[in-house]
């Protein structure tokens, strides 16, 4: 067998953690672990939602041999030169798992490699891409018939998150654990979201705890964050929004220096919110009765695990919309746009969103209707807390939400099917 390279193109934190991870595992299962025969490289492209730690996360996957961070992407795209002067084998496949679908066209031609694109919602550049693994059969009708043989339905990569846990013999803890009333807090991973998300969820947790002292709270810390950075946003001396809005504050407690991964945030009232380092946190999330989360890939992950959630979209700090997806985030990130103009743009966008009743979380987008609550606007912690308490007092409503989430989850097995497409292209 001729030695070959597999080059994976990806970009943001969601893609790296929920797409790249299952695919590289499937590729190794399919093609073997002999690095002299199959070498897997990950090349990242710029992403507005990137944290700067995506390369380190990809490098932590044992199936991956080489990783290049996003700041070196365009020299490679334009001139074919990597920062470390990687060599390339004669045979290979470029696999697209995030970014712009035009990138594999250019890079595949330059390296003389076949190209495989995972298309979640749209398949583009049909003439020049060799194979597409699409999420749903409906996508087959969206392309010209002459390219139909290039498409194969592989399913939903995000659904593999839930499937992985269900098939793991070590992950058979009851879901959720009836003896433990656990609420997950997912305030985000970028500064713009954390500045609001951390004090907001702390304030909500304190209000819930005042009514239900048996409730425990946990933050599954994003792999792109460290505890001290997270705690920065809970400190009123470092996060002015806390005093401005009257939301929650806390200090980081690390009880034993020898075990820095065991830590929590402690509020002035004595409420402790556990910080969870293990990644991925699927077992933990599956034990949660409910999660409070910001928008992003985490809503897809929770949806795939069938974990009930309330999605928080606070607008008290309009600059936070820089971290949003879509047109609001794009406009807010334009160079030369001042904070005053950002506020005007965002106010206009907010009014438009309210009129259109736009859906933001992935489960609602999948269902094309609101199956998990999205709270948008000037959110008040006590009102969110009361809604959480109502859910906890009526577990049948949580079970109904869990059932709806299961019903919209895509078909699992996408990573293995995509790996099979790569294998087919590799040995043509």
Higher per-residue pLDDT: 49 or 229: 229
- Asked if 398 and 252 sit in the same domain, the reply is yes
Instruction: State yes or no: pLDDT of 320 exceeds 60.
Output: no
Q: Exposed, middle or buried, 257 (CB in 10 Å: 0-12/13-18/19+)?
A: exposed
Token digits of residue 43? 């090349």
Q: Find where tokens 């991956």 sit.
A: 64
Residue 175 lies in a domain: no
pLDDT digits (tens, 9 = 90+) for 42-90: 999 998 777 788 899 999 999 999 999 999 999 999 999 999 999 999 9
Residue 316 falls within a domain, yes or no?
yes
DSSP assignment letter at 123: -
Q: Of the given ranges (191-195, 271-275, 350-354, 372-376), which has the lowest mean pLDDT?
A: 350-354
- The radius of gyration of the chain's CA atoms, rounded to the nearest angstrom, is 22
Residue 215 has pLDDT above 60, yes or no: yes
356/387 same-domain check = yes
- When pLDDT is cut at 50, 70 and 90, the band that residue 348 belongs to is low
Residue 318 binned pLDDT confidence (cut-offs 50, 70, 90): low
Task: Mark whether 387 and 416 lie in a shared domain.
Answer: no
Residue 20 inside a domain? The answer is yes
Q: What is the pLDDT of residues 397-425, one digit of tens each?
A: 999 999 999 888 777 789 999 999 999 99
The CATH number assigned to the domain holding 75 equals 3.40.50.2000
How many structural domains comprise the chain? 2
The closest alpha carbon to 104, from 115, 91, 93, belongs to: 115
Sorting pLDDT into bands at 50, 70 and 90, what band is 190?
confident
Do 374 and 415 belong together in one domain? no
Q: Is residue 167 part of a domain?
A: no
Domain co-membership, 138 together with 203? no
Residues 257 and 387 in one domain: yes
Q: Which two tokens stand for residue 121?
A: 């919602």
Residues 408, 366 contacting (CB under 8 angstroms): yes
pLDDT digits (tens, 9 = 90+) for 112-145: 999 999 998 888 899 999 999 998 888 888 888 8
Same domain, 331 and 403: yes
Cα angle, residue 316 at apex, residues 289 and 241 outer, rounded to 5°: 90
Q: What is the mean pLDDT of residues 370-388?
A: 93
Assess whether 104 and 212 both reside in one domain.
Answer: no
Looking at residue 173, its pLDDT comes to 40
- The mean of the pLDDT values for the chain is 86
Q: What is the mean pLDDT of residues 94-103?
A: 95
Query: So what's the pLDDT on residue 257?
Result: 79
Asked if residue 169 is part of any domain, the answer here is no
The answer to whether residue 333 scores a pLDDT higher than 80 is no
Mean pLDDT of 206-233: 93
Residue 169, pLDDT score: 46
On whether residue 164 sits in a domain, the answer given is: no
Which range marks the domain in which residue 421 is found? Answer: 4-158+411-426
Residue 214 located in a structural domain: yes
Average pLDDT over residues 159-168: 61
Q: What is the pTM of this model?
A: 0.75
101 and 188 within one domain: no
140 inside domain: yes
Considering the domain architecture, whether residues 341 and 229 belong to the same structural domain is answered as: yes
> 120 and 223: one domain?
no
Q: What residues does 116 pair with on adjacent strands?
A: 95, 131
């Amino acid at each position: 067998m001729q030695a070959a390279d597999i080059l994976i193109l990806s970009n943001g934190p969601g893609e790296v953690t929920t797409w790249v991870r299952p695919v590289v595992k499937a590729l190794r299962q399919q093609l073997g672990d002999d690095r002299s025969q199959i070498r897997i490289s990950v090349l990242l492209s710029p992403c507005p939602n990137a944290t700067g730690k995506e390369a380190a996360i990809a490098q932590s996957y044992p199936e991956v041999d080489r990783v290049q961070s996003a700041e070196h992407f365009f020299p490679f795209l334009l001139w074919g030169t990597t920062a470390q002067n990687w060599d390339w084998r004669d045979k290979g496949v470029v696999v697209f798992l995030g970014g712009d679908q035009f990138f594999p066209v250019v890079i595949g031609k330059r390296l003389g490699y076949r190209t495989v694109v995972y298309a979640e919602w749209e398949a583009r550049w049909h003439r020049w891409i060799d194979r597409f693994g699409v999420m749903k059969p409906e996508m087959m009708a969206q392309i010209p018939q002459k390219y139909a043989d290039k498409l194969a339905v592989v399913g939903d990569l995000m659904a593999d998150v839930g499937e992985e846990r269900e098939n793991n013999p070590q992950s058979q803890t009851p879901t959720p654990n009836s003896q433990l009333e656990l609420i997950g807090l997912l305030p985000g991973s970028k500064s713009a979201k954390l500045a609001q998300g951390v004090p907001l969820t702390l304030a909500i947790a304190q209000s819930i705890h005042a009514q239900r002292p048996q409730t425990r709270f946990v933050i599954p810390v994003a792999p792109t964050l460290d505890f001290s950075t997270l705690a920065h946003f809970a400190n009123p001396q470092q996060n002015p929004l806390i005093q401005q809005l009257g939301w929650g504050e806390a200090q980081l407690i690390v009880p034993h220096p020898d075990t820095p991964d065991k830590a929590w945030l402690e509020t002035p009232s004595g409420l402790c919110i556990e910080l969870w380092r293990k990644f991925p946190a699927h077992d933990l999330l599956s034990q949660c009765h409910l999660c409070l989360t910001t928008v992003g890939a985490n809503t897809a992950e929770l949806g795939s695990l069938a974990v009930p959630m309330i999605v928080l979209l606070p607008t008290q700090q309009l600059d936070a919309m820089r971290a949003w997806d879509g047109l609001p985030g794009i406009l807010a990130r334009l160079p030369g746009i001042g904070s005053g103009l950002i506020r005007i743009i965002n106010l206009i966008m907010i009014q438009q969103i309210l009129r259109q009743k736009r859906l933001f979380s992935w489960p609602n987008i999948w269902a094309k209707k609101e199956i998990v609550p999205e709270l948008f606007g000037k959110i008040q912690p006590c009102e969110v807390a009361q809604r959480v308490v109502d859910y906890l007092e009526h577990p049948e409503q949580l079970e109904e939400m869990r059932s709806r989430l299961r019903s919209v989850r895509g078909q699992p097995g996408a990573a293995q099917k995509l790996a099979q497409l790569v294998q087919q292209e590799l040995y043509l």
